[in-house]
């Protein structure tokens, strides 16, 4: 056999299998989270959120051209780029595994036998395809995120390191190191996770150049690898820009030159220094210095992709995050300033006392002719500091979590031991080990498991083992059995990986240590470095795929362990075949069969349809306020790529606190006129009116919003308070606000139809619901004052209620959006969520598309939540029509509900919504449909409760108390409903089940 040819074919075979898998399961359009922003930014070459991904934008832009002008296909072809990049990762992983295997089992100059080739290729296929079908990697492979391209860079870099090692004794071998350097530089413009291969690179170099390594040398190499990583991460990526900013400040503010002069001067000095260093290393024959200098140059060459962001920022695109048109804003952009700092080695706990504030630096912005101060960087000074602070956030929701998870009382001061216990149990255990087990042991469901409960747990499928952690598993509930993410791997990938670890360390400690270093640095080291807060917006398993990649290498090498330890009594050739086939079925085939349904997005397009629904339901020339990623990014995609409703202005309240974002809102975008913002740039520029606190002046009556706006914008010292340092700040003197309404304006603009003229209020009165005003809130106040009802105003219904500013009683639900309407409070339902019935009916019946949620093979967690949200809208609409007495329309709504809402109950929240819908069905005399739904809901709750009773009895205490109470109360509600609407047989049947469950739970609860 020709090993080289077979190895090449094997790599491409893995590529084809992976690419076919990902394309077949590919999301056909935009996905949730960041994908909408990346697609929109790539298509129109705009600037994404910090710290930027210019290489991703350029590559995705290239793929978008394959749509050949069909805007509805742009997202699909950009998703293809992720699929192909992910398949490329699998191909290079195959070649990495075969290179490590060959090096381990075949001595230098030894001839490869056929049985060796069989084992090597088998190991490569098993390991590569195991990673291809791993949960976290597959998830990113079928959507337009950065992680697919980032993984490809990691795979190629690690393969390149091994390529250099194999050829290190040849004269031109170092070109592979330079190739790796350039690729690392390129990867900075994708995602910096790739830099974590630097320690592995340095150790490979050390082991290759040191025939007999010592512990002292290994320790020195480790220190050098950490320093090298820090130099690249901070020195090149951040401080190069910071130093350039310092140069430009000196040339502009001190000497009086034009903007950019100092940058050019710094660039000349840097280039000259690098050229001199390279020349010096050549003349003096200093090989190591020459490598370091060339490595640095190529890293910077790759890093230069970020120039795209500054070029595009000058073009002022619609999405222009941070407006990086000058070196200071660019420096803070790549430094991720908006995300703040987190203590790493020494710092405060969540309840450490703040005793002072210290200045940590100054913020500069670009003025007309010079750089101007935008304020001081500051940080609190704390008492009670500790080493390795892991529980440091003082946000109320985080403090509650720390206390609950750790069992602390209010007076407890966390110690170093407490922080270490939290780090190992939650950060490393719940938020890393759980993800690791998802990928190689099995997964219970796709619920969010960040809170440390039973949801989102790992689960093997071996019930006695699972019962030790999760309680009795004999009657698994629908939330597990019917969840597509219920994947059972029976520990097989994990065990074969452990076999590979043991075999690798026994046969080749150096290479095993390098893989182990990659595993640790891309896994546990990230946990320690990120020091993440709890209750993140989503699960973060994608951040650790590098460590899963390293473990997949060991899964591949596990084939040799199986061959040598299990099949040692047969011939070597047969042992290689048997071990490869056994591992192939035990790992990748098992993982593919279990994981296909929960990764197949080919039938669902919920994110696209929901985003279009947001826009299409708006009146012409509307303003819609959104909040957060899933509320905003898919909507950006729909508008920027598919050109859906370009007249609507989308305002992301999460970004509205930034001056550069307000600047964009004051300009025309697409077919949307500038927002009615009268603020002058100097009134909201960075460092000005960033935050204005409420100070109660005991004003009893509601104050006109225009007057409040005048006070907040006033430069008069009488309208400000003096701080301890002598600085003066505007304040909010009252929360009782009022906006006088001109009824004629409201009618002329069509905000309220003429037949409802009598419902128009003289003024909108409300109580502001926050303790401070940001410049975003200031701009929103400005819009409310100066809009004069000319442009319809909407807020999305999914945002946190505090973002409504207290206007809730004037925000009428019309579906996914809530419209601001100036109607008299006495015309509003007592419900805190008033309904505008006519547009709600039109939207649900005629305007909205439903993303094929009825028939899609799989709905991810966000999509399943959207099913519940849509179901609740149907309940509200049907209830409103019944109150109105319109039973004919009510029956049509019920028919539409059953046409578009899935039969399966994906979550208990959907089951609860179904119960409330049933009451309406009874009222419109749809008895059969009502009974069918109630039976389904009762069956769901019954099975869930049986499982929780099993778990409670096996563990000796009540499991998931909140769910038990909710489920039991809903069963009781169903009994009352069936009694009320005279369904005695069904009522008695459900009551019987209820009483059985009540008897089982009684020993564990009171009341």
> What is the C-alpha to C-alpha distance for residues 827 and 972, in angstroms, rounded to an integer?
33
The beta-strand segments (E) located in 203-353 are: 346-347
Evaluate if residue 908 carries a pLDDT over 60: yes
- Of 8-12, 215-219, 831-835, give the lowest mean pLDDT range: 831-835
Contact indicator for 554, 504 with CB cutoff of 8 Å = yes
Nearest alpha carbon to residue 960 among 905, 906, 904, 908: 908
Considering the chain, what is the average pLDDT of its residues? 92
Beta bridge partners of 362: 376
The CA radius of gyration of the chain, in Å to the nearest whole number, is 31
Return the pLDDT at 159.
Answer: 96
pLDDT tens, 321-369?
Answer: 999 989 999 999 998 877 778 898 999 999 999 888 888 888 888 888 8
Tens digits of per-residue pLDDT, 789-813? 999 999 999 898 999 999 999 999 9
CA-closest candidate to residue 86, choices 41, 122, 131, 126: 131
Q: Give Cα 998 to chain centroid, integer Å.
A: 40
Q: Inter-axis angle of helices 74-105 and 147-167, to 10 degrees?
A: 30
Exposed/middle/buried for residue 892 (C-beta within 10 Å: 0-12, 13-18, 19+): middle
- Contacts of residue 720, defined as CB under 8 A and 6 or more positions apart, other chains included, come to 714, 728, 729, 730, 731
The residue with tokens 């795979």 is: 155
Using one digit for the tens of pLDDT, what is the confidence trace for 442-490? 999 988 888 877 789 999 999 999 999 889 999 999 999 999 999 999 9
* For the chain, counts of helices (H) and of strands (E): 40, 18
What does the alpha-carbon distance between residue 649 and residue 666 come to, in Å, rounded to a whole number? 11
Taking the whole predicted model, whether its pTM rises above 0.85 is answered as yes
Q: What percent of the chain has a predicted confidence (pLDDT) above 90?
A: 75
* CA pair distance 76, 144, nearest whole angstrom: 9
β-strands 772-774, 728-730 pairing:
unpaired
**Segment 949-993, tens digit of pLDDT:** 999 999 988 988 889 999 999 999 999 999 999 999 999 999 999
DSSP characters over 447-508: S--TTSSSTT-B--S-HHHHHHHH---SS--HHHHT-TT-EE-TTHHHHHHHHHHHHHHHH-
Listing DSSP states for 335-399 in one string gives: TTGGG-----SEE--TTPPEEEEEEEEEEEEE-SSSEEEEEEEEEEEESS-EES--S----HHHH
Q: How far, in Å, CA of 305 to CA of 188, rounded?
A: 9
Digit-coded pLDDT (tens) for 419-448: 999 999 999 999 999 999 999 999 999 888
What gap in Å lies between CA 637 and CA 41, rounded to an integer?
Answer: 9
- Condensed to tens digits (0 to 9), the pLDDT of residues 691-743 reads 899 998 888 899 999 999 999 999 888 778 877 666 788 899 999 999 999 99
Residue 907 and residue 916 in contact, taking contact as beta carbons nearer than 8 Å? no
């Amino acid at each position: 056999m020709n090993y080289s040819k077979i190895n090449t074919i094997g790599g491409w075979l893995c590529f084809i299998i992976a690419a076919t898998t990902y394309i077949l399961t590919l999301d056909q359009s935009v996905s949730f989270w960041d994908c909408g922003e990346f697609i929109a930014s790539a298509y129109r070459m705009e600037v994404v959120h910090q710290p930027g991904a210019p290489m991703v934008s350029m590559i995705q832009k290239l793929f978008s051209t394959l749509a050949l002008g069909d805007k509805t296909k742009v997202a699909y072809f950009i998703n293809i780029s992720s699929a192909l990049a992910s398949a490329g990762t699998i191909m290079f992983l195959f070649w990495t595994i075969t290179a490590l295997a060959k090096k381990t089992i075949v001595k230098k100059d030894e001839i490869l036998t056929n049985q060796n080739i069989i084992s090597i290729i088998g190991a490569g296929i098993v390991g590569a395809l195991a990673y291809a079908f791993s949960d976290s990697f597959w998830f990113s492979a079928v959507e337009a995120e950065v992680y697919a391209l980032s993984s490809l860079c990691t795979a190629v870099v690690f393969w390149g390191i091994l390529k250099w090692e194999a050829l290190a004794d040849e004269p031109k071998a170092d070109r592979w190191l330079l190739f790796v350097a350039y690729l690392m530089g390129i990867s900075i413009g994708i995602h910096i996770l790739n830099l974590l291969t630097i320690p592995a690179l340095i150790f490979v170099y050390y082991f290759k150049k040191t025939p007999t390594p010592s512990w002292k040398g290994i320790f020195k190499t480790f220190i050098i690898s950490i320093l090298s990583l820090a130099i690249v991460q901070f020195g090149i990526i951040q401080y190069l820009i910071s130093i350039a900013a310092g140069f430009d400040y000196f040339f502009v503010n001190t000497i009086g030159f034009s903007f950019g002069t100092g940058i050019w001067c710094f660039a000349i000095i840097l280039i000259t220094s690098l050229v001199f260093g390279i020349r010096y290393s050549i003349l003096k024959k200093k090989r190591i210095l020459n490598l370091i200098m060339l490595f640095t140059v190529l890293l910077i060459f790759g890093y230069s992709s970020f120039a795209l962001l500054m070029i595009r920022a000058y073009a002022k695109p619609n999405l222009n995050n941070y407006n990086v048109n000058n070196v200071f804003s660019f420096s803070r952009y790549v430094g991720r300033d908006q995300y703040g700092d987190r203590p790493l080695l020494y710092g405060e706990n969540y309840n450490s006392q703040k005793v002072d504030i210290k200045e940590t630096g100054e913020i500069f912005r670009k003025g007309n002719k010079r750089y101007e101060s935008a304020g001081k960087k500051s940080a609190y000074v704390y008492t009670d500091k500790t080493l390795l602070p892991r529980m440091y956030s003082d946000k109320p929701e985080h403090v509650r979590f720390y206390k609950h998870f750790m069992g602390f009382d209010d007076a407890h001061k966390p110690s170093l031991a407490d922080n270490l216990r939290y780090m190992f149990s939650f950060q490393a255990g719940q938020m890393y080990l759980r993800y690791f087990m998802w990928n190689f042991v099995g997964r219970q469901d796709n619920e969010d498991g960040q809170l440390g409960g039973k949801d989102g747990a790992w689960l093997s499928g071996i019930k006695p083992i699972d019962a030790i952690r999760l309680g009795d598993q004999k009657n698994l509930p629908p939330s597990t059995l019917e969840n597509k993410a219920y994947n059972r791997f029976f520990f097989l990938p994990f065990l074969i990986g452990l076999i590979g670890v043991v075999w690798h360390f026994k046969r080749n400690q150096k290479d095993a240590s390098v893989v182990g270093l990659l595993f640790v640095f891309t896994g546990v080291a990230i946990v320690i470095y990120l020091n993440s807060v709890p209750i993140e917006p989503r699960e973060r398993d994608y951040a650790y795929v590098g460590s899963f990649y390293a473990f997949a290498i060991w899964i591949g090498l596990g084939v040799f362990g199986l061959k040598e330890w299990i099949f040692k009594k047969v011939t070597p050739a047969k042992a290689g075949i048997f071990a490869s086939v056994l591992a192939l079925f035990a790992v990748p085939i098992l993982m593919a069969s279990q994981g296909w349904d929960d990764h197949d997005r080919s039938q669902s397009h919920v994110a696209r349809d929901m985003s279009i629904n947001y826009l299409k339901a708006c009146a012409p020339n509307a303003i819609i306020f959104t909040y957060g990623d899933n509320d905003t990014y898919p909507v950006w995609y729909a508008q920027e790529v598919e050109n859906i409703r370009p007249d609507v202005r989308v305002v992301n309240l999460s970004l509205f606190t930034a001056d550069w974002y307000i600047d964009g809102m004051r300009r025309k975008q697409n077919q949307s006129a500038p927002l009615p913002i009268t603020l002058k740039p100097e009134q909201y520029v960075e460092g000005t009116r960033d935050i204005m606190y409420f100070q109660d002046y005991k004003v009893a009556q509601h104050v006109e919003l225009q007057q409040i706006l005048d006070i907040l914008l006033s430069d008069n010292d009488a309208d400000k308070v003096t701080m301890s340092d002598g600085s003066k700040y505007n304040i909010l003197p009252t929360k009782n606000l009022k906006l006088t309404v001109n009824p004629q304006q409201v009618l002329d603009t069509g905000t309220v139809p003429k037949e409802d003229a009598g419902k128009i209020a003289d003024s909108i009165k409300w109580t502001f619901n926050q303790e401070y005003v940001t410049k975003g809130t200031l701009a929103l106040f400005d819009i409310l004052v100066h809009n004069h009802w000319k442009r319809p105003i909407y807020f999305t219904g999914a945002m946190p209620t505090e973002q409504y500013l207290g206007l809730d009683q004037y925000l009428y639900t019309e579906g996914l959006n809530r419209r601001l309407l100036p109607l008299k409070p006495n015309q509003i339902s007592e419900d805190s969520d008033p309904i505008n019935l006519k547009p709600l009916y039109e939207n649900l019946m005629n305007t909205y598309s439903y993303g094929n949620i009825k028939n899609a093979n799989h709905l991810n967690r966000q999509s399943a939540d959207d099913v519940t949200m849509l179901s609740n809208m149907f309940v509200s609409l049907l209830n409103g029509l019944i109150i109105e007495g319109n039973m004919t329309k009510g029956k049509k709504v019920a028919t539409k509900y059953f046409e578009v809402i899935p039969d399966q109950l994906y979550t208990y929240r959907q089951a609860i919504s179904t119960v409330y819908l049933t009451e309406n069905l009874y009222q419109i005399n749809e008895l059969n449909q009502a009974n069918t739904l109630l039976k389904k809901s009762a069956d769901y709750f019954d099975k869930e409760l049986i499982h929780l009773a099993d778990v409670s009895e096996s563990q000796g205490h009540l499991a998931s108390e909140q769910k038990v109470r909710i489920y039991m109360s809903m069963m009781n509600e169903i009994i009352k409903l069936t009694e009320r609407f005279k369904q005695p047989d069904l009522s008695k049947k459900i009551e019987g089940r209820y009483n059985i469950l009540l008897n089982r739970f009684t020993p564990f609860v009171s009341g």
